[in-house]
Amino acid sequence: MGMLKLIRENAHRVDVDGHAMLMHVPSTSLFELDPVARDLYDLSRGVEAFDADSLRAALGHHGPDALADCVKSFMALDILRDAADAGTPRAIVQVEDIPLSTIILNVNTGCNLACTYCYKEDLAVPSKGEKMSFDTARASVELLLKQAAGRDRVNIVFFGGEPLSNMPLIRQVVEWAGPRAAELGKVADFSLTTNATLLTPELADWFDAHRFALTVSMDGPKALHDTNRKTVGGKGTYDLVARNVRMLLSRYRARPVGARVTLTRGVTDVIAIHDHLKDDLGFAEVGFGPATSGPISVFNLDSAALKQAFEDMKTLGRRYVEAACRGENIGFSNMHQLLTDIAQGTKKAVPCGAGLGMLAVDRVGDLHLCHRFVGSGQPTYGNVADGIDVPKLAAFVEKAQDRSGMGCTTCRIRAICAGGCYHESYARQGDPFAPVYHYCDLMRDWVDFGIESYVRIMQANPSFFRTQLAPRTRPAQEVIQ
């Protein structure tokens, strides 16, 4: 054995209640270190390099066979490496096809609300909304089915503006797309995000009959919700939305309905918002998204407010862990996702499925990376009439994999984050490839919190992961390894 060194960017230790846990960074795999592995890791952290003699001198009490096996295991994981070996940069995987699983149809640019933090650059008042035609929607779904040749299920997402303002199109698409997918041996799932102002009992029953995955945008109790979520005329919408949500949840049975909360300056009471939406209104899950790059900076969270929001999410997360240890689920979406990433060993080469497993279609059929880019100044990647511009889109996805020269290359959560949201980077820094540096320390701390939470739940109630966090569909980005 020559000189060996620790590859610090490939291993991260987190101690939890006496358990020494090691996250293998490239694969997000989690291991508990036994005494030999713990001592070897600590030794290698304290020196630039070590050889067999220094290893025996420091850890000889463990015995030569145990040490040799542990060194071999660490080297197989590229946690230890020959000190003279600079390593091989991660290869950029060439993209030759776009294996879609999801298409997002922006059915109307019009919206009856004027939320102060909205990122949509093509948003219009209802009277000026531009609606998608059925021909464009049908061509979009045909493109999805063609690109999803190897998949059993596809997902069609209706977005806006407010999608319920173009219900005739949604009905037409659903009635056509279900049978069309079945002809090809596939199942079409439908999803929709709504502000709930236009919901009716008849619509709730129709969505229930077609098993829609529904998400309602709502920001909490009346005083907080009405701060930003107003009508075009400036009137708060809480009373109407809460009434419609209660109606929806009283008759919707097909799937759990979740709430999506946007945290903005002055609207950051995570605990109160969650408790109201989950316990008072009855949503199955509540998820939070901090606003840090919206078009009107006064509503964005500054660094202090963002840090506090994450601390409050950890406070709610501790309540989640306590409940999980008892076999209960308090419906906190951010913790669901975090624990799923850790339990399943999420391994990303790109931040999300945008441009790979998912594309968004605008009113005229142009293809965008995702719904957030519709109406923006960023490039499009073909049209549903002509197909995907695969070389152009492949070039984008391949460039997104190249994190050389960025802090991502040595970041301990790079396989979970992969640089962060393209649109967040574009809106904040003008470059979709720029890492979301304002999140980095907070996200690293959030993942450490997730590791601690995972270990505590596994010790107290391991069945929770089977019963409450059923395996989800593998993200589209995992095709690139």
Per-residue pLDDT tens digits for 297-319: 667 899 999 999 999 999 999 99
Q: Bigger pLDDT: 336 or 127?
A: 336
The Cα 435–Cα 306 span in angstroms is 17
Q: What is the pLDDT of residue 7?
A: 97
Sorting pLDDT into bands at 50, 70 and 90, what band is 471?
very low
Q: Bigger pLDDT: 439 or 179?
A: 179
The Cα 476–Cα 351 span in angstroms is 10
The Cα 146–Cα 129 span in angstroms is 30
pLDDT in tens, 9-66: 999 999 999 999 999 999 999 999 999 999 999 999 999 999 999 999 999 999 999 9
Residue 431: exposure state from Cβ atoms within 10 A (0-12, 13-18, ≥19): exposed
Q: What are phi and psi of 16, to 5 degrees?
A: -130, 110
The Cα 284–Cα 318 span in angstroms is 18
pLDDT in tens, 422-459: 999 998 889 999 988 889 999 999 999 999 999 999 99
Residue 26 in tokens: 């490239």
Q: What is the pLDDT of residue 57?
A: 95
The Cα 236–Cα 207 span in angstroms is 26
3-state class of 429 per DSSP? helix
Q: Is the confidence at residue 257, as pLDDT, over 50? A: yes
Q: What is the pLDDT of residue 295?
A: 64
**Fold annotation for 102-373:** TIM Barrel (3.20.20)
Among residues 109, 114, 158, 112, the alpha carbon closest in space to that of 129 is found at 109
Question: What long-range pairs does 9-12 form, CB within 8 A, spacing at least 24?
Answer: 9/409, 9/410, 9/411, 9/412, 10/77, 10/78, 10/79, 11/41, 11/77, 11/79, 12/412
pLDDT in tens, 336-359: 999 999 999 999 999 999 999 999
3-state class of 38 per DSSP? helix
**Which residue type is seen at 343?**
A
Flag the least confident range among 119-128, 264-273, 300-309, 472-481.
Answer: 472-481
Q: What is the pLDDT of residue 470?
A: 63
Q: What is the pLDDT of residue 473?
A: 37
Contact 349, 397 (CB under 8 A): no
Q: What is the pLDDT of residue 472?
A: 40
pLDDT in tens, 210-230: 999 999 999 999 999 999 999
Residues in the chain: 481
Please report which helix (H) or strand (E) contains residue 35, including its range: helix 35-45
Q: Can you give the residue ranges of every domain in the chain?
A: 4-82, 102-373
DSSP class per residue in 47-98: SS-B-HHHHHHHHGGG-HHHHHHHHHHHHHTTSEEETT----PPPPPPP---
Q: What is the pLDDT of residue 405?
A: 81
Q: What is the pLDDT of residue 481?
A: 30
Q: What is the pLDDT of residue 127?
A: 81
Q: What does the mean pLDDT of the chain come to?
A: 93
The Cα 458–Cα 469 span in angstroms is 13
